[in-house]
Amino acid sequence: MTLSRLAVLSVSVLIYALAVCEVASADTVIGPLAAETPVRAWAGIAVLSIREPGGYRLATQQSTQAPRALPGIAPAAQPIDADIGPGPNGTPVIVFARCRGGVNCRLVRTTPAGAAETPIIGSADPNGSESAPAIWGTRLAFARRYRNGSTHVYIRPLDGGARARTMRLPDIPRPTCVFTEGCYAKRVHPTVTELALRGSTVAERINLGLVENIELCFRPKSGSSTSLTTGAGAWPTRIVASQERRCSVSR
């Protein structure tokens, strides 16, 4: 299986069976979803959110079975930002962001059996909000957005506790504008929307959208770029997929 990935499922889109078949066959329809949700999968277990009357519930799905809400996991107002992967002993671990008020998020963990959500000690910063968690073995990757709008990516041991070192990865270059005067590009912070871990490789999806103003940037030009950066020393390998938007300034 490739890097655990994000799939967006709409009301009209169905979940497909996760079993890998050597012979091509028709997709097995499992059932419709009531709302869009991110989906991450590992070892034949998918993690997603299902909308119920009380909010969004964290759920798992296997084989051709319908998604099952995890017991003991409180509902959320929005789809839950979650990932699943092998824990330190190789068994599946689910990490997700528990948000209060939609902006103050902290990372917690559970298992495919649910029953309890446990805070990941040492992953929180009182001046920031954590999101986009990803797990692989003993490593935990996540993004942290600070009050000034800046977002950075961090790596730390999953079970390291408060004394373990949290390592900040180098930031990606910011987008540039066609004109340097009057454009807000230098003031806009890229937003990390998704992370994935596989061994010592970190994959990042980053939104580089610029502030648009009808008077300053009225002709946006869209383009995409993908780059691969190999870290040195303690830095893990990083795969960065980004969307860049350039703006020209009206005179």
pTM of the model: 0.73
| Cα–Cα dist 45/115, whole Å | 17
Q: Which residues of the chain have pLDDT under 70?
A: 1-26, 102, 173-189, 209-251
Q: What would the two tokens of residue 90 be?
A: 């190789």
pLDDT digits (tens, 9 = 90+) for 103-140: 799 999 999 999 899 999 999 999 999 999 999 999 99
Q: Are 8 and 15 in contact (CB under 8 A)?
A: no
Q: What would the two tokens of residue 174 be?
A: 């910011």
| Cα–Cα dist 97/106, whole Å | 5
Q: Are 106 and 119 in contact (CB under 8 A)?
A: yes
* Domains contained in the chain, CATH given: 1-168 (2.120.10.30), 172-251 (no CATH)
Backbone angles phi, psi at 137, to 5 degrees: 65, -125
Residue 217: left if φ>0, alpha if ψ -120 to 50, beta else—which one?
beta
Q: What would the two tokens of residue 10 be?
A: 């709409």
pLDDT digits (tens, 9 = 90+) for 182-201: 555 455 667 889 999 998 89
